[in-house]
Structures are given as structure tokens and as C-alpha cells.
Amino acid sequence: MCGRFTITHPNEALAALFDAVPGNDLPVGPRFNICPTQSVAVVTSDVGQRRLRAMRWGFLPSWYKTPTDGPLIINARSDSIAQKPAFREAVRARRCIVPASGFYEWQTGEDGAKLPWYFTRRDGAPMALAGIWQPWGEVDTVAIVSTEAGPGMQGLHHREALMLEAPDWPLWLGEAGHGAAVLMKPAADGLMQCHRVDRKVNSNRAEGPELIVPLAA
């Protein structure tokens, strides 16, 4: 996790929420099935100025000669991020926030079928997912940081995306000094809600608001 997510909030609303200057190359929304290798909006802090920028979801280490030189890296584990050669410089110097309106997680049904669930914040606000980024050639690439799953994951997976609350954004972005490691913990109990959605989202080609509609009982 996190392997798919949504952005249904407008870019203008995200820029206002994070007090960030929006770029002119941001992907157009709403988007209901964002998949790895696609362009996503990312918040960075550059010399005290936050920016909402487009990046490729799929972190490319500096030694990759092509995007397929190694595994597709979409997540970085919080418990090893500071030691892994691919991530240790990025987690020190290039932390970012990946806004999301919600994300999908799957459970395996009795017949082996993959059953999707859609997670959002209970308050309807965008999620602020912790990320790290890496320039690669002319492309900036990003991975979402994961941590151990909390009770909000409902036992569907042993990992969850690291969600940041607004008071913690300056620390994660490097605006408030050092010590961001203290933020690497599961979301508070009761922060998230989820519901089953149709299996059509299992296809990475599916798109549209019907993907997040609760499945009828």
C-alpha cells in the first residue's frame, strides 16, 4: 500500500490548503483511479516557498539508467527509509506531501477475488500523505512513505500510507528544523472511514466517479 488513490479536490483548493504556489503543468482532475507511473500533484518547500508541482509517481534512484532498470518503487517503508541507499538522501533533503482525496485497498474474497475498499478521512478533508522525491533526468519522481497499519485499516493490510496532520506539515517539509522521524506512525484511530466499491476499479484503465460509490449491500 498505497497502490491507487484519488484526487477529487480541485488543484486550486489544494494550493490554498497547503499555502502553495500551483505549477502550470498540474494534472487535471477530478481523477478517480490514479495509478503508478502517472503524474501526480506534490507539495514541496523550496527556500521557504511551498509549491504544488507535478511529479511522476514511481521513485527512480539516481543510478537507474532507464525507468525500468529496477523495480517500480511507489512506496518507501518508514522503518528502513533512512538506511536504504535509494532513499536515505531523499528522506534527509527532499521530503514532500502527496495530497489525496482517498485511496483504495483490497481484500481477498473467499473465491480468491480481489475486493476493493475505498478509504477517506471522516472530515472530508484531503489526506496529506508523506512522500520523498528524487530528480531523474528532466523528471521529478516521488514515492509515498508507508508505516505499520493502524486500526483504521480494518485489518485489510499490514501497511498504510503515512498521513500527516496540518501542524506537522512544516516539520515534514523541513521548514521547522529536524526530527521528522517522530511523525512516522499510523493514523489516529477514528481518522479514516471506508466502504466497499465495485470491482471495476481493479482495472487500471477504469475512471469516473462511479468508482468511489458505495457498493449496495
CATH code for the domain of 120: 3.90.1680.10
Q: Do residues 95 and 165 make contact, with C-beta atoms less than 8 angstroms apart?
A: no
Helical ranges in 57-206 per DSSP H: 88-93, 169-172
Does 115 reside within a domain? Answer: yes
The sign of the dihedral angle between the CA atoms of 193, 199, 205, 209 is negative
Residue 194 in this model has a pLDDT that exceeds 80: yes
Q: What is the DSSP letter of 40?
A: E
Per-residue pLDDT tens over the stretch 125-153: 999 999 999 999 999 999 999 988 877 77
Which residue segment(s) compose the domain that 40 sits in? Answer: 5-212
Separation of alpha carbons 24 and 7, rounded Å: 17
Does 217 reside within a domain? Answer: no
What cell was used for 68? 525500468
Mean pLDDT of the chain: 91
Query: SS3 of 73, please?
Result: strand
Residue 164 in this model has a pLDDT that exceeds 60: yes
Does 47 reside within a domain? Answer: yes
Structural domain count, the chain:
1
Average pLDDT over residues 23-45: 96
Does 165 reside within a domain? Answer: yes
Name the most confidently modeled range: 70-79, 102-111, 155-164.
70-79
Predicted confidence band at 109 (pLDDT cuts at 50, 70, 90)?
Answer: confident
Predicted confidence band at 1 (pLDDT cuts at 50, 70, 90)?
Answer: low
